[in-house]
Amino acid sequence: MKWSDNLRHWDKFKVYRYVILLGLSLSGDGWSYEASVIASIIQLPAWITHLGYETTIPDSKNQWIGPVYSLGQLVGGLIAAFFLDTFGRKPTMVIGAVLMELSTALLVWSYSFGVVIAARVIEGVSIGFLLLGYQIYAVEIAAKEDRGFVSSFTLMTGNFFGLLAAGIVYGISYSTGNAGWRTALGITFVPATLLLMILPWVPESPRYLYEKGKHEQCRKVLGKLHGCTHEDGQLILSEAGETEYEAMRAAITWDQAHGQDKWAALWNSKAARYRSFVAISSQSWWAWNGGSIFTYYYTIVFSAAGITDPHVQFGIAGVQNASWCIGGIVGGYLLDVWGRRTNYLIGTGQAALMLIIQGALALGIFDKGTVNHAAGAGFVSVYIIQWFLWVMFFSPVVNMLPAEIYSAGLRARGYAIANVFSMGVGFATQYSALPMYRHMHGWTWIFFAGCMLFAFTVIYFTYPETKGLTLEEVEVVFGTGAGQRVKEALGQASPVDPRTPIHYQAQRDIDDEDRKGDSTHMRHARTVSTLSS
């Protein structure tokens, strides 16, 4: 895709898709806002006093507040997979929004430390429902030329709510009562409530409808999304809509006939294992970027750098959130211009470089107890640049990729398994962040820099590129049997050049799968022949 492609060819169908996804992007606003607020509120004296502590929360408890939501999201993602496959994408997001409102109510109350932990767990569960629900829905209704951009809508709007949170937190940092932090947390009700109002007007995903045998409903939704006309009461899909329908039918039919929509299909062939490797590893890198310390303990880090005024610390957080708003928009757009793999490489590469600089400043100056305001300003500047580039290049692709690379029947379960690994390593790094920093100081940044260099190497040598492809063409990249049947159904040569760094014989996997489903193969061959004719 060229730089200006997304700015052209606007018709009512493209506008309709964008309006739907912008409305549903509210699914990410609640947790983006709450994450920004809670990271600051746990530093506020009024909130700490309300929970029954004098000046600070003991480390043994404080280190649970941030990461415990990862455990909730781990469980929520697994449960959400069942709801996505059984009841659909829309009902799953409804449940997520209701759980977000429940967790918000408990946080506003904050009766005790135990209630705060319970609220954070429930919020994590809601994120599992909302994250999987939105990302899967977005990739399934998007056009191939802008799938990366629209999948990032939830990140973009979430960043704006994060900026709102930073402004509010800066204001209540001067407050000594409970009304300030309660108001700040209560705003989380707004995006969740708006999402519940919007969802009844949103159509169900066409791929989910086809999987459930609702073929006519599937065609109607495709017509709304990608264009159609009506002749003598009959729905006539546009060329793009009809092509997508035929590819979808070929892929889903083959998967269902060969059992490739079952749990075992996540690992029962070389192509399946390769796809799962990319999904799981891509979801795990974020936990090793040093954010586990900055997110919840930034006041401690800034104090070590000689920046001790809490209002200045909260102000820096506001500047950072403002930069994220710009980075999220630009990065989401670049997904369809430069590609997923390129964005990943830039994101992890720059993180490694910035962490090395921060480690050098900490080891050479701060860890020695030297107060150097110029070095402190440099440390914070490097930190802000690192996270601006991270949000621009890494964040837009990390939530989308597992939804993009799995087939329709495996999309929810594959994403759920990747989410388990993501939240597992997220919990481990966030829970260990405070004691790690207490013991390692400046070496902490060097450790995380090494992690980012390792991630860069793995991505460079093993990840394929999927930009500009339909979801069914992505199957061709990974060498699945459904991908081959899609080519046959459309009567064309492969539309993609896989450019896959891993060398394997995809056709051998396809032949193995065919032999496993030998009893149904002839019937399926007749179906494919009918589709091709």
Does position 56 have pLDDT exceeding 50, yes or no?
yes
Which is nearest to 322 in space by CA: 473, 533, 163?
A: 163
What count of other Cβ atoms lies within 10 Å of the Cβ of residue 440? 15
**Higher local confidence (pLDDT), 251 or 168:** 251
Does position 521 have pLDDT exceeding 50, yes or no?
no
Task: Quote the pLDDT of residue 203.
Answer: 96
Does position 88 have pLDDT exceeding 80, yes or no?
yes
Task: Quote the pLDDT of residue 86.
Answer: 94
pTM (two decimals): 0.84
Mean pLDDT lowest for which of 348-357, 368-377, 394-403?
A: 368-377
Contact status, residue 327 vs residue 160, Cβ threshold 8 Å: no
> 58 pLDDT band (50/70/90 cuts)?
confident
Task: Quote the pLDDT of residue 297.
Answer: 53
Mean pLDDT value across residues 444-473: 93
Residue carrying structure tokens 């507040």? 65
Angle at 214 between CA 212 and CA 216, to 5 degrees: 160
**Higher local confidence (pLDDT), 67 or 498:** 67
Mean pLDDT lowest for which of 155-164, 271-280, 518-527?
A: 518-527
Residue 336 token pair:
């369809």
How far is Cα 109 from Cα 127, in angstroms, rounded to an integer?
Answer: 20
Task: Quote the pLDDT of residue 169.
Answer: 77
Task: Quote the pLDDT of residue 492.
Answer: 53
Residue 229: what are its φ and ψ, rounded to 5°?
Answer: -135, 170
Mean pLDDT value across residues 143-155: 90
Task: Quote the pLDDT of residue 390.
Answer: 93
Residue 192 token pair:
């969740």
Residue 415 token pair:
């994403």
How far is Cα 172 from Cα 216, in angstroms, rounded to an integer?
Answer: 54
Does position 476 have pLDDT exceeding 70, yes or no?
yes
> 300 pLDDT band (50/70/90 cuts)?
low
Mean pLDDT lowest for which of 179-188, 291-300, 413-422?
A: 291-300
Mean pLDDT value across residues 372-390: 85
Q: Which range, 148-162, 318-332, 344-358, is most confident?
A: 344-358
CA distances from 475 to 34, 45, 485 (A): 37, 53, 10
For 89-125, the pLDDT digits (tens) are 999 999 999 999 999 999 999 889 999 999 999 998 9
How far is Cα 58 from Cα 43, in angstroms, rounded to an integer?
Answer: 12
How far is Cα 242 from Cα 228, in angstroms, rounded to an integer?
Answer: 9
Residue 363 token pair:
């080891």
Residue carrying structure tokens 């837009």? 396
Task: For the chain, give the longest Cα–Cα distance.
Answer: 82
Which is nearest to 209 in space by CA: 369, 45, 88, 60?
A: 88
Contact status, residue 41 vs residue 299, Cβ threshold 8 Å: no
How far is Cα 314 from Cα 43, in angstroms, rounded to an integer?
Answer: 10
**Higher local confidence (pLDDT), 292 or 132:** 132
Task: Quote the pLDDT of residue 29.
Answer: 66
**Higher local confidence (pLDDT), 380 or 223:** 223
Contact status, residue 493 vs residue 487, Cβ threshold 8 Å: yes
How far is Cα 282 from Cα 274, in angstroms, rounded to an integer?
Answer: 12
Task: Quote the pLDDT of residue 298.
Answer: 58
Write the single-letter amino acid at 452.
M
Residue 58: what are its φ and ψ, rounded to 5°?
Answer: -55, 145
User: At what angle are helices 518-532 and 506-516 packed, to 10 degrees?
Assistant: 110
Task: Quote the pLDDT of residue 295.
Answer: 60
Task: Quote the pLDDT of residue 1.
Answer: 63
Task: Quote the pLDDT of residue 278.
Answer: 96
CA distances from 110 to 67, 122, 125, 182, 374 (A): 18, 14, 18, 9, 40
Q: Which residues pair with 237 in a beta bridge?
A: 228
The average confidence (pLDDT) of the chain is 84
Does position 129 have pLDDT exceeding 90, yes or no?
yes
Task: Quote the pLDDT of residue 296.
Answer: 52
For 223-264, the pLDDT digits (tens) are 999 999 988 888 999 988 998 999 999 999 999 999 888 999
Does position 471 have pLDDT exceeding 60, yes or no?
yes
> 438 pLDDT band (50/70/90 cuts)?
confident
Q: 173: burial class by Cβ within 10 Å (0-12, 13-18, 19+)?
A: buried
Residue 510 token pair:
């396809």
Contact status, residue 245 vs residue 219, Cβ threshold 8 Å: yes
Termini Cα distance of the chain: 31
Q: 507: burial class by Cβ within 10 Å (0-12, 13-18, 19+)?
A: exposed
> 487 pLDDT band (50/70/90 cuts)?
confident
How far is Cα 239 from Cα 431, in angstroms, rounded to an integer?
Answer: 52
Does position 132 have pLDDT exceeding 80, yes or no?
yes
- H or E element at residue 229: strand 228-231
Residue 121 token pair:
């767990």
